[in-house]
Homo-oligomer: A and B are copies of this chain.
Amino acid sequence: MAYYRTHQCGKLSKTEIGQEVTLCGWVQRRRDLGGVIFIDFRDRSGLVQIVMNPEYNQEAHRIGDRVRNEYVLKVKGNIVERSAETVNPKISTGEIEVHISDVEILNEAKNPPFQIEDQVEVDENIRLKYRYLDLRRPAMQQSIILRHKVSKAFRDFLDENDFLEIETPMLTKSTPEGARDYLVPSRVHPGEFFALPQSPQLFKQLLMVSGYERYFQIVRCFRDEDLRADRQPEFTQVDIETSFLTMEELLPLMEKMVAQVCEQSIGLKVEAPFQRLTYREAIDRYGSDKPDLRFGMELTDVSDIAAACGFKVFSGAVERGGQVKGINVKGCGHFSRKDVDDLMGFAARYGAKGLAWIAYQDGEIRGPIARFFTKEEMAQFKERFAVSEGDLLLFVADTAKVVADTLGALRTKFGKELGLIDSSVFKFAWVVDFPLVEYDEDQKRYVALHHPFTMPVEEDLELFDTDPGQIRAQAYDLVLNGFEVGGGSMRIYKRDIQEKMFKALGFSQEEATDKFGFLLDAFEYGTPPHGGIALGLDRFVMLLAGRSNLREVIAFPKTASAADPMTDAPGEVDEKQLDELSISLQLPEEVTK
* Chain A residues at the B interface, C-beta cutoff of 8 Å: 1-5, 24, 26, 42-44, 70-72, 106-110, 112, 130-133, 135-136, 141, 144-145, 147-148, 151-152, 155, 159, 164-174, 180-196, 202-203, 206-207, 209-214, 220, 222, 224, 233-234, 236, 243-246, 248-249, 493-494, 518, 522-529, 554-556, 558, 561-564, 566-573, 577-588, 591
**B591 & A191 in contact (Cβ 8 Å cutoff):** yes
> Which of A144, A526, A583 has most B Cβ within 10 Å?
A526
Give 7 new A-B contacts, CB below 8 A, not counting A172-B564, A185-B185.
A3-B248, A5-B244, A106-B529, A131-B206, A133-B525, A186-B562, A582-B587
25 A-B contacts, Cβ less than 8 Å apart? A2-B246, A5-B244, A24-B528, A70-B526, A72-B528, A107-B493, A107-B526, A107-B529, A132-B207, A132-B525, A133-B525, A136-B211, A145-B164, A147-B167, A152-B165, A171-B182, A171-B222, A171-B233, A171-B234, A183-B573, A185-B583, A191-B572, A191-B585, A193-B571, A583-B586
A566 to B525, CA, bound (A): 14
| CB neighbours of A181 from chain B (8 A) | 577
**A567 & B518 in contact (Cβ 8 Å cutoff):** yes
Nearest opposing residue in chain B for A212, CB measure: B44
**B191 & A587 in contact (Cβ 8 Å cutoff):** yes
Q: When the two chains form the complex, which single residue of B2, B135, B145, B183 contacts A184, counting CB atoms closer than 8 Å?
A: B183
Q: When the two chains form the complex, which single residue of B194, B249, B518 contacts A566, counting CB atoms closer than 8 Å?
A: B518
**If A26-B211, A136-B211, A173-B569 touch, does A555 touch B168 (CB 8 Å cutoff)?**
yes
| CB neighbours of A584 from chain B (8 A) | 583-586
**If A192-B572, A207-B555, A528-B72 touch, does A167 touch B244 (CB 8 Å cutoff)?**
no
CB of A523 to closest CB in B, whole Å: 8
**A563 & B188 in contact (Cβ 8 Å cutoff):** yes
| CB neighbours of A222 from chain B (8 A) | 170-171
A582 to B529, CA, bound (A): 43
**If A249-B3, A526-B71 touch, does A190 touch B132 (CB 8 Å cutoff)?**
no
| CB neighbours of A194 from chain B (8 A) | 569-570
A584 to B193, CA, bound (A): 12
**If A72-B528, A107-B494, A555-B168 touch, does A190 touch B579 (CB 8 Å cutoff)?**
no
**If A183-B185, A190-B587, A190-B591 touch, does A173 touch B568 (CB 8 Å cutoff)?**
yes
- Shortest 9 CB-CB distances between A and B: which pairs? A109-B526, A135-B210, A173-B569, A192-B570, A70-B526, A186-B570, A4-B244, A132-B209, A584-B586
CB of A265 to closest CB in B, whole Å: 13
**A567 & B173 in contact (Cβ 8 Å cutoff):** yes
**If A136-B211, A585-B583 touch, does A106 touch B528 (CB 8 Å cutoff)?**
yes
